């Protein structure tokens, strides 16, 4: 059987779409609550309700995205086709999130619906993109290379977005909105969405010929299929995997909450909205460095010890940041160190999930 190998374009440029995708994710994570309360003028209770509804919807669609991709059959392949039209449609609804029509209630409903639609598409084409990354080669070394390249592009997007997004919002608000923030958010969303579409179109072009035809895949699928019920049964028989999933859920919840509060902290406590970019930059660089060095810590402390040490360190530095507030520079350094520790622990998530998943045969 002929081994599948990546071409040089894939080796060098697969991941550029993920970088622009990270910019859009950063905009939502860091500025969604501020947009709801400061621009749409929703009260905190309503904004919190919207976030809860959209988060639950995002979780559900993320779970079923793999099944949707697996059952799809389009002209340009099972995976590549989603990269052609998925980002474009998602961008339309992403931009509509950051607009305002009618009353506060109308704006809230529009935001919620557009968020759910855009994130459903996000989860589907992102899943297809990651599956495509595994389909372009069957060599373990090359798969490790492309996985690392995707992570590097995504981290680059987070770091760039840390400084760029707030600058874009403020610039467009001043240039076209007379200081009004709404137009700043809308134009920024348009630009980021277009860039994401271009990025994933690059993925589509450079992987031409790699996506297996649906006809050829049917025979392999017929040999062994794992249903959603089988997956739930497997997880239920594996308490260690349940523990890992629960810990990962709590860890991500704290991370997303911190990102959402950064904007409020800079505006209300520091009274310096421009500091949002600097603080996000410290956070994302710290997380990147931690994830890159996680293997070094594993060699010395083991997977379990590194996970415990990383999360303990993240908590300690977070508490220190609270104690030294409102000294802006010290807070930024403490948050950067906290996210370094978080990155060390988070870098082991995939390894832990695979380790305990194989115990119950979910992915075997």
**Tens digit of each residue's pLDDT (9 = 90 or more) over 133-153:** 878 887 777 776 777 788 788
- What is the rounded CA–CA span in Å between residue 88 and residue 93? 9
Portion of the chain with pLDDT greater than 90, in percent: 32
pLDDT per position as a tens digit, 333-360: 999 999 899 888 876 654 554 555 444 4
**Helix residue ranges per DSSP H, the chain:** 8-13, 16-34, 44-71, 80-97, 104-135, 140-176, 181-206, 214-223, 228-236, 239-264, 275-292, 294-324, 328-346, 349-359
pLDDT per position as a tens digit, 271-286: 888 788 888 889 889 9
Residue 13 has pLDDT above 60, yes or no: yes
Nearest C-alpha neighbor of 266 from the set 317, 313, 331:
331
pLDDT per position as a tens digit, 85-113: 999 999 999 999 999 988 888 999 999 99
Of 240 and 224, the structure prediction assigns the larger pLDDT to: 240
pLDDT per position as a tens digit, 171-199: 999 998 776 889 999 999 999 999 999 99
């Amino acid at each position: 059987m002929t081994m599948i190998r990546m071409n040089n374009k894939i080796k060098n440029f697969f991941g550029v779409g993920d970088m622009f995708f990270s910019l859009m994710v950063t905009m939502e994570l860091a500025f969604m609550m501020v947009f709801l309360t400061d621009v749409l003028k929703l009260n905190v209770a309503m904004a919190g309700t919207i976030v809860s509804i959209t988060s639950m919807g995002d979780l559900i669609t993320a779970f079923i995205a793999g099944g949707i991709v697996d059952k799809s059959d389009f002209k340009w392949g099972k995976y590549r086709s989603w990269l052609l039209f998925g980002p474009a449609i998602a961008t339309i609804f992403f931009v509509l999130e950051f607009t305002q029509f009618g009353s506060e209630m109308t704006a809230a409903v529009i935001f919620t619906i557009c968020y759910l639609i855009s994130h459903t598409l996000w989860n589907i084409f992102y899943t297809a993109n990651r599956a495509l990354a595994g389909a372009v080669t069957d060599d373990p070394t090359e798969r490790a290379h492309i996985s690392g390249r995707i992570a590097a592009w995504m981290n680059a997007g987070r770091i760039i977005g840390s400084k760029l997004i707030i600058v874009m919002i403020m610039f467009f608000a001043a240039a076209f909105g007379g200081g009004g923030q709404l137009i700043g958010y809308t134009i920024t969303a348009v630009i980021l969405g277009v860039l994401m579409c271009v990025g994933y179109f690059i993925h589509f072009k450079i992987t031409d010929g790699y996506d297996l035809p649906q006809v050829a895949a049917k025979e392999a699928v017929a040999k062994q299929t794992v249903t959603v019920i089988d997956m739930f049964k497997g997880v239920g028989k594996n308490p260690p995997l349940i523990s890992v999933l629960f810990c990962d859920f709590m860890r991500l919840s704290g991370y997303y909450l911190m990102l959402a509060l950064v904007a409020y902290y800079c505006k209300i406590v520091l009274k310096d909205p421009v500091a949002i970019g600097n603080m996000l930059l410290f956070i994302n660089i710290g997380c990147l460095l931690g994830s890159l060095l996680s293997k070094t810590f594993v060699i010395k402390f083991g997977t379990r010890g590194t996970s415990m040490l990383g999360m303990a360190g993240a908590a300690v530095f977070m508490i220190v940041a609270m104690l030294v507030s409102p000294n802006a520079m010290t807070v930024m350094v403490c948050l950067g160190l906290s996210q370094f520790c978080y990155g060390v622990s988070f870098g082991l998530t995939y390894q832990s999930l695979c380790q305990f998943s194989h115990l119950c045969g979910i992915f075997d």
